Each structure stands twice: as structure tokens, then as C-alpha cells.
Copies of this chain bind each other. A is one copy, B any other.
Amino acid sequence: MKTLTYAEENYLKAIYHISEAGKKGVSTNDIAAAMQTKPASVSDMLRKLSNKKVIEYRKYYGVHITEEGKKYALQTIRKHRLWEVFLVEKLHFTWDEVHEVADELEHIKSAILIQRLDEYLGYPKFDPHGDPIPDEYGDVKARPRLPLSEIEINGTGQIVAVKDSSAAFLRYLDKVGAYIGARIKVLDKVEFDGSVEILVDNKKKIFMSREVAGNVLVMV
């Protein structure tokens, strides 16, 4: 059991998330953008992470996360998402308020704490943004889901997650009345701009731009 620093945990989490999105090697620039830091700093860190065997690093060709690295990343993600559930369910934070605080809480080092927290929360399977919570071994139950923008007219489904979980986007969804768990039906799609009209819970008609609909994930 290696001990990673806060910075190392953050980099590893970012590398994991980027490599989940696209399948190939993760580039220095992409990591720098995700971490809001400079490519030169990333190069420094990649050498460190490589020495700790949590990534495979070939200079100039981007990095791959190792199996061991993936375990550490998923552990951090597990903590992040469990804390998010805690903040929303127990402390009544809104889903747009939790991310920053969870980014700090995810680094608290105590196996028993996370075990107890999980138990206390009733072993939740998804966080407030619909993202799956890895179990203590790092196993994630992926749910098949696709962007709302890709549902056909008259197609139905349930909102299960968001792709963008920025505060601005989440507050916008609150405003229009979209939320996780909502049952939806696509009433109309505008060919011209890709915007959609949907019916929420068989009650409320709402409009979404293609941009917005692309960031709302649905299970059919």
C-alpha cells in the first residue's frame, strides 16, 4: 500500500477520468488543462507517478494508467462520491454545491471512516450527479446511458446522470425542472439547431438546446 500525496491523488484521478473518456494515451496538455496547471508541472509529476508505478510513461507519447494506479484512482473517486452523497442527503447541500468540498474531503485517509460512511449512507450506488460509486475493491457498476440529444422523437427514458456537473449547468437544470430520476419523453426535435422539446413526468413540457440535451444522460 503506497501512500500518495494529495497532489498525486489529484493527478491520478484526472488521468483516470481522461483515459475513460478517450481510449488512447493521455497527453500532457490534456492533463494540464484538467488540473489547471502548466504542462511543465505535469511533466514533473508524470516522472513521480511513473516512479511509483501508478502510470506507464513514455516521454512525448502520453501516459497510460496501470492496474494499480486505477485502483488508487477509483478509491479516491469512491470517497469523493460518497462524500457528495453525504453532503446532499444529510447536510442538505444542493447538487451544485458539493463538488469543491468533496474535492477536499476525498483526501482524508481513513479506511474505517469510508467504510462507516458508506454504511451510514445505506451503501448508495450513485452520487448526486448520477455517477456510479465504486465499491471498496474498485468495482464500478456501469449503467448504460446515452445523451438525451440522441433519443428519437417519442422515445422515452429516465434521466440518470449529467455529463457536465459544473454549478452553472446544474443550476440551469434546476431552473428548467430537470432532475435525476425524472421520466422523460421526447416530444419534438428541431432539425435546424438540434434543440428538443421533452415532457417531464408526463406533466411538464420543457425545451432544451442541443448543447444542454447533450449533457443530460438518459437510460432508455
Give A contacts to B, CB under 8 Å: 87, 90-93, 97, 100-101, 104-105, 108-110, 112-113, 116-117, 120
Contact = CB atoms under 8 A, between A and B. Distances in A.
A71 to B, nearest CB: 21
Given A90-B120, A120-B91, A108 B113 contact: no
A90 B117 CA distance: 9
A101 B120 contact: no
Contacts of A91: 113, 116-117, 120
Total copies of this chain within the assembly: 2
Nearest to A100: B110
A116 B105 CA distance: 15
A82 to B, nearest CB: 12
B116 A92 contact: yes
A104 B110 contact: yes
Contact of A109 (B92, B104, B113, B120): B104
Contacts of A116: 91-93
A113 B101 contact: yes
A93 B112 CA distance: 9
B93 A101 contact: no
5 contacts: A87-B113, A101-B110, A101-B113, A104-B109, A105-B108
**9 closest cross-chain pairs (CB), A and B:** A91-B116, A101-B110, A104-B108, A101-B113, A91-B120, A90-B120, A105-B108, A91-B117, A92-B116
Contacts of A87: 113
A110 B104 CA distance: 10
A99 to B, nearest CB: 11
A120 to B, nearest CB: 6
Nearest to A108: B104
Residue from A90, A101, A113 having most chain B Cβ neighbours under 10 A: A113
